[in-house]
Amino acid sequence: MPAATHCPYCALQCAMTLVPNPQGPAPVRVEPRMFPTNRGGLCTKGWTSAELLTTPDRLTSPLIREQGGLRPATWDEALGRIAAQLRAIRREDGPDAVAVFGGGGLTNEKAYLLGKFARLALGTSRIDYNGRFCMASAAAAGNRAFGIDRGLPFPVDDLDGADAILLLGSNVAATMPPLLSHLAGARAEGGLIVVDPRRSQTAQLTADGAGLHLQPAPGTDLVVLLGLTHIVLAEDLADLDYLAARTVGVEEVRRSVAAWWPERVQAATGVPVALLRATARTLAASRNAFILTGRGVEQHVDGTDTVTAAINLALVLGLPGTPGSGYGTLTGQGNGQGGREHGQKCDQLPGYRRIADPAHRTAVAAVWGVDPAILPGPGVPAVELLGLLGARGGVRALLVHGANVVVSGPDVARTRAGLAALDLLVVCDFVLSETAALADVVLPVTQWAEEEGTMTNLEGRIIRRRRALDPPDGVRSELEILADLAARLDAPSVWPTDPAEVFAELARASAGGLADYSGLSHELLDAQLDEGIAAHWPYPIGSTGTPRLFLERFGHADGRARLVAVRPRELDRDDAGATPASRAVGQGEPSADLTLITGRLLEHYQSGAQSRRVPELSAAQPRARAELHPATAARLRIAEGDPIVLRNGRGAVRAVALLAERIRMDTVFLPFHFPDEECANLLTAAVVDPVSGMPEFKRTAVTVTRERSSESESAA
């Protein structure tokens, strides 16, 4: 039977139907389905997604490491070994010697049960997930400004009516192409404004009078936003009535941006004064304007402050909570929104509750049937967690679900060393990813089309993932694995394995929280028109969902939004004469004269563990290509297609030179989908935003040289 489901990739969660395909190369074929986010469209990844189901290296048996290699094992042997080692480690060094690392692609049910497993079966506080590398800064900024974090607090098709959209740090033409249809109205009005150091595919849409492209130096988006807010306030373009009725903090922000006059911003960022003024005036004159942020402005050590500056600009213009206008952030991973709501984050319990809040602990413990006193306190965010691997008094065992940390995390060499020092590394995956290849135990799990569950997309819309075919023999769901291990560890509470039952428990545990799902069930979602079109959280019992937040009040107790004054950080010198920023991006190397930015390609996704296994996608982008301006390449004596090496104090990455005038001459772009010697995160630093824990991915100082023949021979 055909199964109505959604794409396994990004948070747009495009709708598709999987149709039995007995004569084809894959057991099902993909047919696009009408849905508000994609309107029947799919990108090349969605069209080819069924090919993941027949990848030749699919895992169908647990693997155990012996004598330096992995051998097949039975489930009883594998789970027995895991449970025995976990018991021993906890007995010797306590529960925090065991850690869990989750993923933003897990279903809500898996994310919820993983958080419960960490707190009850393991008793550890040390759990976090790869969403810390994705949405953490936007979430932190949204919570402090609005009192709630939902990527888009409005349906994505609200963008259709916009006559101006300011898009910062997101190349949606490559990352989520079906979203482009929602930008058409702003383009037609000449109001699409894109901020990006590259003239990306999305920035190119501003040509021929369709909008503006601002091309700041990497890492200066905060200054751009301060300058735009300065212009709005200085030219009396602010919505003063809105500010008085719905916000607090505007006078502090007014003082904080006073020093960022346009000429100073131009000097700091490279964005011409005329473009700054045109941007501010276009947004202020618009009837329906939106400001959207993406990873390019968020993945910085000041990412939370940069997103806060974007929110301040939106509030000064009176956009959030105003029908037809708004502010939002474009969630990246497929369940990046739901994944951070129900317990994978180190400081959270289900429903976006805070684990340090006694009332929140009591509410969730009552659902779990345990004493709240046994719940651990807050843990540490992902980068700090990875830094504890193998350290004295740190983490001895790590369980990884839905993540590939030796490609996606910062300072990969450090992470590899930490993984090697563990007593036990357990990885759940459907293929032998780069992280799974290092594991002591690998557990084969179901893929997207082989499981039931729910996902929450970038709009906070809860949608159904449906099973289209049975998994191969020998493969289990993470729900079954967690329940089995919980039993072997004598964990309290009950451990359902049916996704509908797990969701029902999740719904009860979320009741009264910010992300309240208590009025939902698999049955209700299945009965809703078009598979849950109206199911935006919060969705308490008796509700019909909340497609648009903030129409009457914000999430703070007084109902008002907070404008928070932010500023670029002072660069205090250390004993070696290097600033924190230089240590973050290049370890103080004076010869590192280019700034590396990282990002995605149309054909690939995240660490590439999925997309690199699809022949069509891999053939289109088989290698990492580093994008350089032709003038920069000429200075470095590099030609198109040359093998090159990018270096700094943390490592070296090999790539192929791609020359393009669309990038700044002081910048080099490298995709982050590739492993081993092409892994961009060999170069990025494990330094983080102090508020969100977000690593610095978008501003890394490097040198770039043409690869010499001796290097090529030694690499071979």
Q: Are residues 290 and 399 in the same domain?
A: no
User: 10 Å Cβ neighbour count for 666?
Assistant: 14
Q: Provide the token pair at 176.
A: 């989520």
pLDDT in tens, 236-275: 999 999 999 999 999 999 999 999 999 999 999 999 999 9
pLDDT computed for residue 580 by the predictor: 36
Q: Are residues 359 and 417 in the same domain?
A: yes
Last residue of a domain, one of 295, 329, 363: 329
pLDDT in tens, 503-524: 999 999 999 999 999 999 999 9
Please say if the pLDDT value at position 532 is more than 70: no
In sequence order, what E strands does 457-601 have? 462-465, 561-562, 594-599
Structural domain harbouring 397: 63-132+335-527
pLDDT computed for residue 528 by the predictor: 75
Q: Are residues 45 and 90 in the same domain?
A: no
Q: What percent of the chain has pLDDT over 90?
A: 92
Spatial contact of 404 and 606, defined as CB atoms under 8 Å apart: yes
Q: What percent of the chain has pLDDT over 70?
A: 95
CA distance 351 to 608: 30
Q: Checking phi first, is residue 343 left (phi over 0); if not, alpha (psi -120 to 50) or beta?
A: left
273-285 helix and 221-234 helix, angle to the nearest 10 degrees: 60
- Of 499, 497, 495, nearest to 525 (Cα)? 499
Please say if the pLDDT value at position 576 is more than 80: no
Q: Are residues 75 and 127 in the same domain?
A: yes
Query: How far are the Cα atoms of 132, 328, 400 from residue 433, in angstroms, in the given order?
Result: 20, 33, 11
The tally of domains found in the chain comes to: 4
Q: What is the CATH number of the domain that holds 267?
A: 3.40.228.10
The sign of the dihedral angle between the CA atoms of 630, 635, 639, 641 is negative
Last residue of a domain, one of 285, 307, 329: 329
Q: Is residue 442 part of a domain?
A: yes
Task: Provide the pLDDT confidence category of residue 527 given band limits of 50, 70 and 90.
Answer: confident
Q: Are residues 357 and 465 in the same domain?
A: yes
Q: Is residue 548 part of a domain?
A: no
- The average pLDDT across 113-132 equals 97
pLDDT computed for residue 695 by the predictor: 96
- Of 641, 675, 597, nearest to 294 (Cα)? 597
Q: Are residues 78 and 17 in the same domain?
A: no
pLDDT computed for residue 569 by the predictor: 79
Q: Which of 317-321, 377-381, 483-487, 706-710 has the lowest mean pLDDT?
A: 706-710
Q: Are residues 210 and 224 in the same domain?
A: yes
CA distance 689 to 216: 21
Q: Is residue 557 part of a domain?
A: no
Q: What is the CATH number of the domain that holds 604?
A: 2.40.40.20
Q: Are residues 388 and 463 in the same domain?
A: yes
3-state percent breakdown (helix, strand, coil) of the chain, nearest 5: 35, 20, 45
pLDDT computed for residue 548 by the predictor: 97
Q: What is the CATH number of the domain that holds 451?
A: 3.40.50.740
- The average pLDDT across 344-359 equals 97
What's the whole-number average pLDDT of the chain? 94
Q: Is residue 575 part of a domain?
A: no
pLDDT computed for residue 529 by the predictor: 53
Q: Are residues 261 and 385 in the same domain?
A: no
Q: Are residues 469 and 512 in the same domain?
A: yes
Q: Is residue 547 part of a domain?
A: no
Q: Are residues 320 and 342 in the same domain?
A: no
Q: Which amino acid is at 151?
A: G
pLDDT computed for residue 533 by the predictor: 66
DSSP state of 264: H
pLDDT in tens, 613-656: 999 999 999 999 999 999 999 999 999 999 999 999 999 999 99
Q: What is the CATH number of the domain that holds 43?
A: 2.20.25.90
Q: Is residue 10 part of a domain?
A: yes
The sign of the dihedral angle between the CA atoms of 348, 349, 350, 351 is negative
pLDDT in tens, 68-79: 899 999 999 999
Last residue of a domain, one of 305, 329, 353: 329
Q: Is residue 317 part of a domain?
A: yes
pLDDT computed for residue 592 by the predictor: 66
Q: Is residue 549 part of a domain?
A: no
User: 10 Å Cβ neighbour count for 410?
Assistant: 28
Please say if the pLDDT value at position 715 is more than 70: no
Q: Are residues 315 and 460 in the same domain?
A: no
CA distance 338 to 113: 13
DSSP assignment of 141-184: HHHHHHSS--S-SS-GGGGGG-SEEEEES--HHHH-GGGGGGGH
- The average pLDDT across 216-241 equals 98
Please say if the pLDDT value at position 582 is more than 70: no
